[in-house]
């Protein structure tokens, strides 16, 4: 039944509108679902009686103006005005929810024959509609706890869900300080994180927009950084490095299969789910991530200097292979405790990267297996078209058969070097924050990264 025919029916008289919100919400729901599925089923046999008590108790109110066809605009405005008169003019803040999936074909259980005035949609969609229109603020669902971290325009705090008692990490962004372009980047990050659900990726559970703040509610990962955990271990071997890079590659392969390029792989974004032994590695911070397809490439300088690929530094078009280059740098560090490219002068550092000038000096590399070096070489290939992919790297015997191929000898020299490497990068982070060095930010065009 169309909107016009519904309004012309006897059941939609003026007395019905003034009596309750039942028909207001029902019609709004009908129009909303017709917008989602304009070519969906419209010849369902009407049902004689809708569960009015359920609608009256929920009193769902769609607070956002929804773009409608010109033929329906006047009717929608009329319904909205009538409902605002009863509920008040102030519109509540809304959850940012992903769009509902298309309506399924009608079934006997979902639609029955009767003489009602509107179509009956499945219980799933009614629940989703109620969820979308819930008058909820962040503080209604979460208790905010201590601060976990802080950025230029955001702060990360531990929070507890009031109903379930589950703990999360809430990134609270002050949107008043964001430009229109910065806000678009924030929305892009939320959109990307919302669709990525993988055991090795920090998951976004909720995204709430209020007047002055945007709340991103993520997994609470309590294990700290992967590199800090390695130096605290009593035993660390090449096989352990293989296991670490496997989990990183699993997350990257999943991202690439979903058309996402991270663009900022580095130790600070490799976290552990918990402090338990063998906890999963979690990839975090998708502030610089982009959405691509196989037929397009990006331009633009984004990332952290020591992990940038040659094509980015050369200002060439780039895509998914930039993440594999960063994985090669990380694997090199995992095996010996220092990076393949290093120079105090950034120009010389970039020249090394663009030329792919790295080596395997003695004695630290003498005990590393040839298979591990071969994988690094395939990742640090200057030509992105010849660079190995994440899926291909996961099939390398050094990763998929590590028990047989990778060395199990304790690498104390690697742990010692990694301690110095961690101390150096932490010092540079503090120095960058104090001097306000501007390179590129996950949320804004002026953020702090280290050279």
Whether the predicted pLDDT of 274 surpasses 90: yes
pLDDT digits (tens, 9 = 90+) for 4-20: 443 444 444 444 444 44
Residues placed in the known binding site for ATP? 171
In this structure, are 184 and 263 located in the same domain?
Answer: no
Report the candidate in 317, 254, 260 with the shortest Cα–Cα distance to residue 288: 260
Backbone angles phi, psi at 318, to 5 degrees: -140, 165
In this structure, are 215 and 236 located in the same domain?
Answer: no
- Residue 264 annotated to the active site: yes
Amino acid 376: pLDDT: 98
CA atoms within 13 A of residue 303's CA, in its CB half-sphere = 27
Q: Higher-confidence residue: 445 or 317?
A: 317
In a domain, 451, yes or no: no
Whether the predicted pLDDT of 212 surpasses 60: yes
pTM of the predicted structure, to 2 decimals: 0.67
Element (H, E) at 347: helix 346-355
Amino acid 434: pLDDT: 45
Q: Where does 210-264 have alpha helices with state H? A: 226-232, 238-257
Whether the predicted pLDDT of 260 surpasses 90: yes
pLDDT digits (tens, 9 = 90+) for 372-403: 999 999 999 999 999 999 999 999 999 999 99
In this structure, are 293 and 430 located in the same domain?
Answer: yes
pLDDT digits (tens, 9 = 90+) for 57-96: 344 434 444 444 444 555 555 555 555 554 444 434 444 4
In this structure, are 123 and 233 located in the same domain?
Answer: no
Cα gap 385→383, rounded to integer Å: 5
In this structure, are 231 and 182 located in the same domain?
Answer: no
Amino acid 74: pLDDT: 53
In this structure, are 313 and 214 located in the same domain?
Answer: no
Mean pLDDT across the stretch 175-180? Answer: 86
Say if residues 267 and 227 touch (Cβ distance below 8 Å).
yes
Residues placed in the known binding site? 171
Amino acid 13: pLDDT: 42
* Tally of structural domains, the chain: 3
- Expressed as residue numbers, the domain containing 96 is 3-132
Domain boundary among 132, 161, 193: 132
The alpha carbon of 48 is separated from its chain's Cα centroid by a whole number of angstroms, namely 44
Element (H, E) at 173: strand 167-174
In this structure, are 230 and 197 located in the same domain?
Answer: no
% residues pLDDT > 70 (the chain): 65
Element (H, E) at 319: none
**Catalytic option among 264, 285, 323, 441:** 264
Mean pLDDT across the stretch 218-245? Answer: 95
In a domain, 444, yes or no: no
Mean pLDDT across the stretch 150-173? Answer: 91
């Amino acid at each position: 039944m169309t909107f016009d025919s519904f309004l012309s029916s006897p059941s939609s008289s003026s007395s019905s509108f003034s009596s309750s919100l039942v028909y207001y919400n029902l019609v709004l729901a009908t129009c909303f679902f017709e917008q989602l599925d304009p070519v969906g089923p419209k010849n369902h046999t009407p049902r004689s009686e809708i569960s009015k008590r359920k609608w009256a108790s929920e009193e769902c109110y769609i607070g956002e103006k929804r773009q409608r066809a010109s033929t329906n605009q006047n009717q929608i405005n009329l319904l909205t005005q009538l409902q605002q008169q009863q509920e008040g003019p102030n519109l509540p803040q809304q959850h940012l929810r992903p769009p509902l999936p298309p309506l399924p074909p009608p079934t006997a259980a979902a639609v029955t024959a009767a003489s009602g005035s509107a179509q009956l949609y499945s219980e799933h969609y009614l629940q989703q509609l109620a969820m979308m229109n819930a008058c909820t603020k962040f503080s209604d669902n979460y208790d905010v706890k201590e601060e976990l971290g802080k950025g230029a325009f955001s702060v990360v705090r531990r929070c507890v869900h009031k109903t379930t008692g589950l703990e999360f990490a809430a990134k609270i962004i002050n949107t008043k300080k964001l430009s229109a372009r910065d806000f678009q980047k924030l929305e892009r990050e939320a959109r990307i994180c919302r669709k990525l659900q993988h055991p090795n990726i920090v998951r976004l559970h909720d995204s709430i927009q209020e007047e002055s703040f945007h709340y991103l509610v993520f997994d609470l990962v309590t294990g700290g950084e992967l590199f800090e955990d390695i130096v605290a271990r009593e035993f660390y071997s090449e096989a352990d490095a293989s296991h670490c890079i496997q989990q990183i590659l699993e997350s990257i392969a999943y991202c690439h299969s979903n058309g996402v390029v991270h663009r900022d792989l580095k130790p600070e974004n490799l976290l552990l789910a918990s402090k338990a032994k063998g906890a999963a590695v979690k990839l975090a911070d998708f502030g610089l991530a982009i959405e691509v397809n196989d037929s397009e490439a990006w331009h633009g300088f984004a990332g952290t200097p020591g992990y940038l690929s040659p094509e980015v530094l050369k200002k060439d078009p780039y895509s998914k292979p930039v993440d594999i280059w960063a994985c090669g740098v990380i694997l090199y560090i995992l095996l010996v405790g220092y990076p393949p490219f290093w120079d105090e002068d950034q120009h010389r550092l970039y020249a090394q990267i663009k030329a792919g000038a790295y080596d395997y000096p003695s004695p630290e590399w003498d005990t590393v297996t040839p298979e591990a070096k071969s994988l690094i070489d395939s990742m640090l290939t200057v030509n992105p078209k010849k660079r190995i992919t994440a899926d291909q790297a996961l099939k390398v015997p050094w990763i998929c058969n590590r028990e047989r191929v990778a060395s199990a000898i304790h690498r104390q020299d690697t742990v010692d070097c990694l301690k110095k490497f961690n101390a150096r990068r932490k010092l540079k982070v503090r120095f960058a924050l104090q001097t306000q060095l501007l390179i590129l930010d996950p949320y804004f065009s002026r953020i702090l990264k280290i050279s």
